[in-house]
Amino acid sequence: MSNTHADTVAYVRDTMLQQQDPPSNTIGMVGWAKGNLFGGWMNTVLTVLSTLFIIWIVLHIVPWFISPTWDATSLTQCRELLEGTSGACWGVIRERWPQLLFGFYPSELYWRPVLALVLLFVALAPILFAGYVTPKLLAFSAAYPFLAAWLLWGGTIWGPVMAALGFVAGYFAFALVQRVIAPGLAFWVGVLAAIVWWAVISPFMTPDLARVLPLALESVQSRQFGGFLLSITIGVTAIMCSLPIGILLALGRRSDLPLVKWLCVGFIEFIRGVPLITLLFVASTLLNIFLPPGTNFDIILRVMIMVTLFASAYMAEVIRGGLAALPKGQYEGADSLGLDYWQAQRLIIMPQALKISIPGIVSTFIGVFKDTTLVSIIGLLDPLGLANAIRADANWNGIYWELFIFIGAVFFIFCFSMSRYSMYLERKLRTGHR
């Protein structure tokens, strides 16, 4: 019966089919376009309309960008070169780009901020990329802030050297007290030693050292800073200082010590509840009222402090979110290993919290860098402030788009670079879900 049934079956395959390639219209660019651009009549209509709109935009924008006005020396000459047609007046960028980048910094000293920027990338290499971590580069990274301040402002080298030695004195005092006397007081003794060095020893020794070894660069006043030099100086300082301060504030807000907790909570909520421009006005005008008469507190230093404190409050909340996202088992695991509080934070808790917080941290960095344009409100000539000053010149009165496009392009390069590094770091540390 079974044999008769088998003979009546039309076809029974006894071999496997060879694997076939998918249809050509479902893979590659053709497949992507069919699935995303022409997947139905509605998508097809929207694709055609969008393409026509993009073509119309390009046909109008590209001729405006490629206008032959690079050699123009005024807006009137640009209009003469354009002969009644619309186009950008790029002569203002050719003529004023050094001012937009360096402000009123002496032109013969441009090499100093350029060198400081190049050395910044060298100092950041061991911090941002694990493959460049060497003891020499780490030592250079620690010394870079003092070297950069000397390059930018000039003067005797002994001022930055004595400032750096204050941290060294604080570290040795901390290590000595921690090992010999009372570990609980080590931190405060280190802070006190650094303050004594900066307030008492440094002012006494610096003039004598400057006379004995007069190693100095030509001094540059803060009022000569401007343009992207000012924005990068303030932004980089705030970014570098706000992260460690934000970490301490986040830990303090989660502390079991009531005084520490409420001090941190009060600081964070006060700073986050006040607009940055209000803090800048305080730094510009009100702060001198509370200082002794005759005190010369550099305006850029005041702004750096206020922007850093502002960024630190937001950074603290970002890092606190990362700490809150960690499961309780991580803390219990640290306790089971016999680690004290700071060992647990350094080895187990904080590395994971920072990995989780990478997107928020970089977003805060980008926001801080863009917020440096607010200093134009208090009289500092950032790129936007300089753009207004350039437009006040009779030769360039009426220029708008060209200056703002150039400024926006430079800001985009910096901010986009930070964003791409954030994505690279997330992929490297595998912070996302796979």
- DSSP letter at 349 equals I
Task: Output b/e per residue, 416-432; b: 16+ Cβ within 10 A.
Answer: eeeeebbeebeeeeebe
What pLDDT was estimated at residue 434? 43
Of 223, 237, 361, 355, the closest CA to residue 299 belongs to 223
DSSP-based three-state secondary structure for 156: strand
CB 141 within 8 A of CB 126: yes
Amino acid at 108: E
Residues of the chain with pLDDT under 50: 1, 431-434
Taking the C-alpha atoms of residue 152 and residue 149, their distance in angstroms, rounded to an integer, is 5
Amino acid at 430: R
In Å, the largest CA–CA distance within the chain is 117
The CA–CA distances, whole Å, from 294 to 195, 289, 290 equal 21, 11, 12
What's phi and psi for 89, nearest 5 deg?
-105, 85
CB 225 within 8 A of CB 103: yes
Taking the C-alpha atoms of residue 2 and residue 15, their distance in angstroms, rounded to an integer, is 22
DSSP for 359-415, written as a single string? HHHHHHHHHHHHHGGGGGGGT---HHHHHHHHHTSGGGTT--HHHHHHHHHHHHHHH
Strands (E) located in 75-183: 155-156
356: Cβ contacts below 8 Å, ≥ 6 apart: 321, 322, 325, 326, 431
Please, what are the domains in the chain?
Answer: 96-429 (1.10.3720.10)
What pLDDT was estimated at residue 343? 84
Q: Which segments of 154-201 does DSSP mark as H helices, in order?
A: 158-180, 186-196
Look up tokens 């008769």; give the residue: 4
| pTM of the predicted protein model | 0.85
What pLDDT was estimated at residue 433? 47
CB 431 within 8 A of CB 356: yes
Q: CA 396, 397, 398, 402: dihedral to nearest 10 degrees?
A: 30
**Surface-to-core class of residue 110, CB atoms within 10 Å of its CB (0-12 exposed, 13-18 middle, 19+ buried):** middle
222: Cβ contacts below 8 Å, ≥ 6 apart: 153, 298, 299, 300, 301
> Residues 192-202: pLDDT tens digits?
989 998 888 88
Q: CA 249, 251, 254, 259: dihedral to nearest 10 degrees?
A: -60
CA 293 to chain centre: 36
What pLDDT was estimated at residue 183? 61
**Surface-to-core class of residue 5, CB atoms within 10 Å of its CB (0-12 exposed, 13-18 middle, 19+ buried):** exposed
Taking the C-alpha atoms of residue 82 and residue 76, their distance in angstroms, rounded to an integer, is 10
Look up tokens 């863009």; give the residue: 370
Taking the C-alpha atoms of residue 264 and residue 249, their distance in angstroms, rounded to an integer, is 6
Q: Which two three-digit tokens encode residue 69? A: 């006005």
